[in-house]
Structure 1
């Protein structure tokens, strides 16, 4: 036991004890009955809870510094509480109880599941505990119990934060029985999430490498970041809450939220429709089947498959000699050094998971924001043909300047990297001017992110308006490059991938975003005036933009080693 005590972080004994551990102390006989060494398990969980406070959850972003980490967990619970406030508002909307609980439980299930995968996968998939603690007098049963209890504490915390308002609103509106049933189902949902996540990871690890699993977790983190920002934009446009009624459909049996919502109709509304009995039965049968599948099939080999996470497998295949990327670099890069750093930057942008977590949400916003505003035309009882006719009657492709506003400031993120300590390589390489490095990285950024966004959005707007708007799309793309070059010129000179993420200057980034908003608005205004009063002027605007790009390209990257020596 003394050995375990030495494993605790310095000063831990003086810390205020966690309430969850005080509650856990009352269940000590239960754990000891299953052969768990409770004092050891308690110390392990305590250390894990301390480390939770230093981890920055996806929901509050990844721009926090290490100094802010100690309060990040409480900040995340506050953020989840704000989400729960919006979910709880659904409880006061007059609608059938089954439909209401389907929506509420569906949102809670989605948020809990996504948060579990995005922020707590490092705990579920952690292998360091075994390599460190099993060499000490700690048995495997105690370590697994500590791991499970830690996950349950985390899930119950975020579930309570997100469902608290809904529970109170339900208690006031539907009474105590509703409250107790809702509380019981929230506990079941937590178990369902842990079970489903474990089975999902088992399937992925069985067929794919550990690297593929890490990529999938990263995509879930990105999806959570995107949902947090654009979800409120879509909800009001996708649902019309007037004259709500519910019609049972066969595909409701595929929704876990329907399984958990059906008992409310039976026990609270006393609606004994056979449909609700079948849904409740489906939830019980599927949940029991999942538990059996996990215990009999997944669990025995899950830990063995986790060893794949330690495999240093190759990320993808080697690039072919005449790949598209190499062809593009040969066309757009003037010097051999520029081509080298174009390829280097493109690979870093592909492989850096933490950088992608920063970049991909903005890229997704840039893709969908121009079209979110078009959803307004589908409301008010309009048919799709009527909405399309109204859209064609306006210059709504100018919403692409919203994409420009979001994409241009992202160029400053090229300075961040998880592997920033390797930036010493810039100093030892025989490079005369750092401008070649910056040019190669900027072109890789345009190739990987800016061009695909405009190609995707341009195809959709061309399908709506016809090929006559292609010059307008080209002009908006060129103006985006101008914005990017201006922001690059005004921002601090940094070599690509040379700084840790904790040094992000939020004040500076805010200034660059304001600059991007002002300039993109000015470009959009000029573009709109030309469309209204002098449409041939678009071609003159294109020529001027090309000329300005050529000038800015030579000035924005005209940098000496002395200017960036402190950053490399």
Structure 2
């Protein structure tokens, strides 16, 4: 195995580990194995970027060049002198967004892993050594990722801002990493204490989604801290700023190096030190409880009752044939039970839900709420269809892809009912609930005058769903493994799909300029839906079917 540089650094601290009751030689061996195995794991960020054969080589650290490029951009925020609160809030906001989402997507599986316990607990390895190995493994990854992202601006700050700025910056980076790791761990511990078994595994997926959405919304709030009118930057204290961690980490710069000496900055500067250290102490204290709670992941919980009455009734209403209804129910069931599908698609569901309102929220800065209600800001609802770009793409993948041999065994005369039932299930299970939620909020914001426009939007999104299907390579539902996804197959089509979505919003805007335009546009969309849903799948059925061969 490789002799990693970080292990040589830990060798110098082995005395401290021994005093903590850790068996250092065993700890070193476990860490060496974990770091070696990282070299064979495909990062989620790059999942789908290469063929599966290529994905067997590399590691999560292969994405470092992406963070290095972004780290070079962060240099621009440490260059200006003065307004440290503004520049460093943006810097830490970007850093926390990138690091948190990467930790959630790539290393939650490490935090919640039980395999090392099943292997090592039957050997003479004490729990303290194993727990320390897991924590150090995550910290090594986290610090390596952070140094790649923030290292360029950290080094540049020595020459531009001086040694004091550099020392504050380095200390804040360490505290930021501790805060990210501890908050993630404590949230998982809370979930572990409340739920168990299979239900817990589903809850963890939803927690990852909520964390991603929360980080995105929090990042949007950072820009609200400052008044940028007339090219002047001014800070306006408010109570909700105490909940934004990037502002905590930016406060010491302004308090020690800037010109502002307000009590608000003093309190937040103290929070930047006290909160991470206090939470880290709590996390260390609760670590044995966390490890014991992880055993719930091995339990097989009793799943919730699902008679399938709803998908059966819907399939009877919207499907043309028994074959189409069968694959409608099959796709519906797979979307409900396929955990990897939910993990990859549901975050997009959350972002599609909040993105239209973020645009509306941004428009409030240039006018009052009455001006927004009388505007055409309701067209932002089209961005909810970004969900279909991801959902239609991921409908072809499954962790149980080897079962796709069943497509050859059952008597399918044509694949048109398969594709049609698949897409209808995706629309009714994913797109329609999202559209209903957003429509209710938009009606509250813009009033009942929006009803005809929402009908136009729904008809447009149905057309758009078919176009998303047609633009992607065709494959039977859940018949390919995730690692076989090739990014080059989807990158070009994603730009086309986004352009088409913007085009639909543009057409809607144009028809609002024409008297009774929406009442003329609606029948056109109805005809377009009828035609596309009739011919698109028959055309797709004539293409060669991609069904993997079962290998025994």
TM over 0.5: yes
The yes-or-no answer on 1:181 pairing with 2:161 is no
Counting only pairs closer than 5 Å after superposition, residues 29-178 of structure 1 correspond to structure 2 as 29-60=15-46, 63-66=49-52, 67-68=54-55, 70-93=57-80, 95-98=82-85, 100-178=87-165
The yes-or-no answer on 1:500 pairing with 2:487 is no
Give the distance between the partners of 1:489 and 1:117, measured in 2 at CA: 32
Name the CA shift for 1:415/1:217 in 2 (closer, same or farther; >3 Å).
same
Matched residue SS, 1:564:
coil
- Give 1:342 shift: 2.3
Give the distance between the partners of 1:387 and 1:488, measured in 2 at CA: 34
1:369 touches 1:402 (CA, 8 Å); kept in 2? Answer: yes
- Give 1:79 shift: 2.4
Name the CA shift for 1:482/1:42 in 2 (closer, same or farther; >3 Å).
same
- Give 1:47 shift: 2.3
After superposition, give the CA deviation of every residue in 1:511-537 in whole Å (9 maximum; x if it has no partner).
Answer: 43355356556655655554434635x
Give the distance between the partners of 2:355 and 2:277, measured in 1 at CA: 42
Partner of residue 509 from structure 1, selected from 478, 487, 490: 490
- Give 1:157 shift: 0.7
Partner of residue 358 from structure 1, selected from 320, 344, 354: 344
Give the distance between the partners of 2:312 and 2:426, measured in 1 at CA: 15
- Give 1:484 shift: 2.9
- Give 1:295 shift: 4.7
Name the CA shift for 1:550/1:101 in 2 (closer, same or farther; >3 Å).
closer
Matched residue SS, 2:57:
helix
Give the distance between the partners of 1:221 and 1:82, measured in 2 at CA: 26
The yes-or-no answer on 1:306 pairing with 2:294 is yes
Give the distance between the partners of 1:46 and 1:414, measured in 2 at CA: 38
- Give 1:473 shift: 3.0
Give the distance between the partners of 1:527 and 1:72, measured in 2 at CA: 46
Give the distance between the partners of 1:277 and 1:239, measured in 2 at CA: 18
- Give 1:117 shift: 3.1
Partner of residue 193 from structure 1, selected from 177, 180, 183: 180
- Give 1:446 shift: 0.8
Give the distance between the partners of 1:156 and 1:23, measured in 2 at CA: 14
| Higher deviation after alignment, 247-256 or 73-82 | 247-256
| Higher deviation after alignment, 135-144 or 419-428 | 135-144
After superposition, give the CA deviation of every residue in 1:367-402 in whole Å (9 maximum; x if it has no partner).
Answer: 45555554564345x33334444x2xxx55445555
Paired residue for 1:378?
364
The yes-or-no answer on 1:550 pairing with 2:508 is no
Higher relative contact order (CA 8 A, sep 6+): 2
Give the distance between the partners of 1:234 and 1:271, measured in 2 at CA: 21
Paired residue for 1:244?
233
Partner of residue 460 from structure 2, selected from 479, 486, 501: 479
Name the CA shift for 1:311/1:402 in 2 (closer, same or farther; >3 Å).
same
Paired residue for 2:418?
437
**Cα RMSD, aligned residues only:** 3.9
Give the distance between the partners of 2:117 and 2:512, measured in 1 at CA: 66
2:192 touches 2:294 (CA, 8 Å); kept in 1? Answer: yes
Paired residue for 1:3?
none
- Unaligned segments of structure 2, at least 5 residues: none
Partner of residue 206 from structure 1, selected from 187, 193, 204: 193
1:57 touches 1:73 (CA, 8 Å); kept in 2? Answer: yes
Give the distance between the partners of 2:340 and 2:462, measured in 1 at CA: 25
1:105 touches 1:261 (CA, 8 Å); kept in 2? Answer: yes
1:409 touches 1:512 (CA, 8 Å); kept in 2? Answer: no
2:348 touches 2:390 (CA, 8 Å); kept in 1? Answer: no
Paired residue for 1:7?
none
1:462 touches 1:469 (CA, 8 Å); kept in 2? Answer: yes
Give the distance between the partners of 1:87 and 1:314, measured in 2 at CA: 48
Matched residue SS, 1:70:
coil
Name the CA shift for 1:358/1:152 in 2 (closer, same or farther; >3 Å).
closer
Give the distance between the partners of 1:229 and 1:251, measured in 2 at CA: 16
Give the distance between the partners of 2:353 and 2:238, measured in 1 at CA: 33
2:78 touches 2:157 (CA, 8 Å); kept in 1? Answer: yes
2:40 touches 2:57 (CA, 8 Å); kept in 1? Answer: yes
- Unaligned segments of structure 1, at least 5 residues: 1-11
- Give 1:155 shift: 1.4
Counting only pairs closer than 5 Å after superposition, residues 388-399 of structure 1 correspond to structure 2 as 388-389=373-374, 391=375, 395-399=376-380
Matched residue SS, 1:557:
helix
Name the CA shift for 1:74/1:376 in 2 (closer, same or farther; >3 Å).
same
Name the CA shift for 1:226/1:295 in 2 (closer, same or farther; >3 Å).
closer
- Give 1:549 shift: 2.9
The yes-or-no answer on 1:411 pairing with 2:379 is no
Paired residue for 1:5?
none
Aligned length: 545
- Give 1:428 shift: 3.7
Give the distance between the partners of 2:305 and 2:370, measured in 1 at CA: 48
Name the CA shift for 1:19/1:220 in 2 (closer, same or farther; >3 Å).
farther
Give the distance between the partners of 1:219 and 1:459, measured in 2 at CA: 23
1:408 touches 1:480 (CA, 8 Å); kept in 2? Answer: no
- Give 1:121 shift: 1.8
Name the CA shift for 1:303/1:523 in 2 (closer, same or farther; >3 Å).
closer
| Higher deviation after alignment, 328-337 or 248-257 | 248-257
1:118 touches 1:217 (CA, 8 Å); kept in 2? Answer: no
- Give 1:176 shift: 0.9
After superposition, give the CA deviation of every residue in 1:186-244 in whole Å (9 maximum; x if it has no partner).
Answer: 22333333333333222221111254554454346556777999999887688544433
Give the distance between the partners of 1:248 and 1:475, measured in 2 at CA: 43
Give the distance between the partners of 2:425 and 2:548, measured in 1 at CA: 21
Paired residue for 1:448?
429
